[in-house]
Chain A
Amino acid sequence: MLRLIGAVMIIAACGLVGIIVSKSYLLRPKYLHDLSAALQLLETEINYTRTSLPEACTIIAKQIKEPVSQFFTCFAESLKNESGVNAQEAWDNSLIVLVDAGFLKQDIEIIKQLGSVLGRSDAADQLKHITALQKRIQALAKAAELERDKNVRLWNYLGFCIGALVVLLLI
């Protein structure tokens, strides 16, 4: 009886790990699409209403889902608190939110680049930079979708299979 319970627990634990890994493949493209949408909103705020960066990011945060919204809130708040940080520092510090949410290192490296130019030039130049980043994010999202299609089902099954294998080896 005890053995049976042990076996079930091992299979469940391994299965769960598999599901968690597959979930990360499932969420990344979603997050990247959210980020791309947020950048589109930022473009509009800058282009049409010349809204200041902290205000624009607060508005964007209200229209986008977590965790991207949290990233923009964090960025806007650190710009607003008058501690003397500039946009680049605030942007870099806020990236931790995206790292925690499961963005990959390559995503972060690309997003980070915008921080060095954000808010530092006229609207036309800002738009160029934002559009460029948006295009790269969309490319990443596409690649992430392909990976998702390949890996989600695989990891869903793989976890349970490994669990079963371990049980077999132990018996």
Chain B
Amino acid sequence: MASKILNQLAPNLRDILENRVDWDTVEELRLRVGRPLVIKDKFQEYGMNFFGKCQVADSYCVTTDDLNRSVQIMTQNSWYAIDEEIRAGYLTLAGGHRVGICGKVVMEKGEIKTLKYINGLNIRIAKQVIGAAKLVLPKLYFNNKLSSTLIISPPGCGKTTLLRDISRQLSNSGMDVVIIDERSEIAACYQGIPQLDVGLRTDVIDGCPKAMGIMMALRGMTPQVIVTDEIGHPDDGYALADVIRAGVNVISSCHGSSLEAVQARAWVQLGGSVFTQAIILSRRNGPGTIEQVLKWEQPE
């Protein structure tokens, strides 16, 4: 599925990457105007030119046209359809791959209006790792009861992959799961349909801000578990507070390196007490390494 990403790139880049890249191992593709194309896999970064794999310094030099064309293909020539996402600095491709965008920001009345002169793309390849949650899953249960869990880690440690597999396994074991997929990363919905396996009993609210999505799920979908990604906005805290009242379990992720750092944030005061435990991840032994499982103690 990752090879489909080729069709989302400008023809020049396709020519270089076609048949030369093992898409199963690639994690990131970085395109910067006037600078070499960089490919990152689990262990190393390298370049690519018309002769094949090479040092980054010898890699193909990305042009403005390459970037503009790629963005036009990625947005299906319909910038207006995803300008909300672009203003947030990213867009999601069919297959759930996330593309971060850099360029000149145009401001209006203190808010980002749009991006122009795009100068950099970071394409993160989404991968479904069936069974990624094998080690984590037993830790989600306490006295045979599912406990609400916050998964904490820095970027790139496999939070989303883990959440996806947790949803799949909980759902297949008989629970009604609702995924609030604000950035279409967990279920990788394309035109509303999940592209990745998220389980038999999973509903997906796609592209919806977490706080609103949580309310929608509680109101209409009677979930047993709500799964959501990258909690952080104070509004999320208010929505979580409602979840506590409804008695629904939440499995969510959050950027951070330690429990203390996360607990200093505003949303924790509002709705943090929904969680009963936190799992800290790292990349020490590859993405998804469990560092610690901690009991959640709501800060005063």
- A interface list, Cβ under 8 A from B: 46, 50-54, 56, 79, 82-84, 86-87, 90, 118-123, 125-126
B112 to chain A, nearest CB (A): 11
Instruction: List B residues 62-78 near A (Cβ within 8 Å).
Output: 68-69, 72-73, 75-78
Given that A82-B73, A84-B69, A86-B69 are known contacts, is A122 also in contact with B79, CB under 8 Å in the complex?
yes
Q: Is B51 an interface residue (CB 8 A)?
A: no
Find out whether the CB atom of B10 lies under 8 angstroms from the CB atom of A53: no
Binary A-proximity of B51-91 (CB < 8 A = 1, otherwise 0):
00000000000000000110011011111110100000000
Q: Which residue of A lies closest to B12 (CB)?
A: A84
B: contact size bracket? 10 to 19
- Chain B residues with CB under 8 Å of A50's CB are 78, 80-81
- Contact B80–A86 (Cβ < 8 Å): no
**Complex contacts, A123 vs chain B, CB 8 Å:** 80, 83
- Cβ-defined contact, A118 with B77, below 8 A: yes
Of chain B, the residue at the smallest CB distance from A91 is: B77
A-B contact pairs, 19 of them (CB 8 A): A46-B80, A50-B78, A51-B81, A52-B81, A53-B77, A53-B78, A79-B76, A86-B72, A87-B72, A87-B77, A119-B72, A119-B76, A119-B78, A120-B72, A121-B79, A122-B80, A123-B80, A123-B83, A126-B80
Spell out B's residues near A (CB within 8 Å): 7, 10-11, 14, 68-69, 72-73, 75-81, 83, 113-114
Q: How far is the CB of B184 from chain A (nearest CB, A)?
A: 14
* Least CB separation from A122: chain B residue: B83
Minimum CB distance partner of A81 in chain B: B7
CB distance from A42 to the nearest CB of B (A): 11
Interface of A is mostly: loop
- The prevalent SS among residues of B at the interface is helix
Shortest beta-carbon distance from B248 to chain A in Å: 31
A119: chain B residues at CB < 8 Å are 72, 75-80
**B69, A79: Cβ atoms under 8 Å?**
no
Whether B7 lies near A82 (C-beta < 8 A) is yes
Say yes or no: A52-B78 contact (C-beta < 8 A), given A84-B14, A121-B114, A123-B83: yes
Judge whether A86 and B77 touch: CB under 8 Å.
yes
Q: Which residues on A sit within 8 Å (CB–CB) of B114?
A: 121-122
| Inter-chain pairs besides A53-B78, A122-B83, 13 sampled, C-beta below 8 Å | A50-B81, A51-B81, A52-B77, A84-B10, A86-B72, A86-B73, A86-B77, A118-B77, A119-B72, A119-B75, A119-B80, A120-B79, A121-B79
> In whole angstroms, what is the CA distance A7 to B73 when docked?
61
Which of chain B's residues have a CB closer than 8 A to the CB of A54?
Answer: 76-78
Which chain A residues lie closer than 8 Å to B76 at the CB level? 52-54, 79, 119
- B77 cross-chain contacts in A, Cβ below 8 A: 52-54, 79, 86-87, 90, 118-120
The 3 closest A-B pairs by CB, nearest first: A87-B77, A119-B77, A84-B11
CB neighbours of A126 from chain B (8 A): 80
- Distance to closest chain A CB from B111 (angstroms): 13
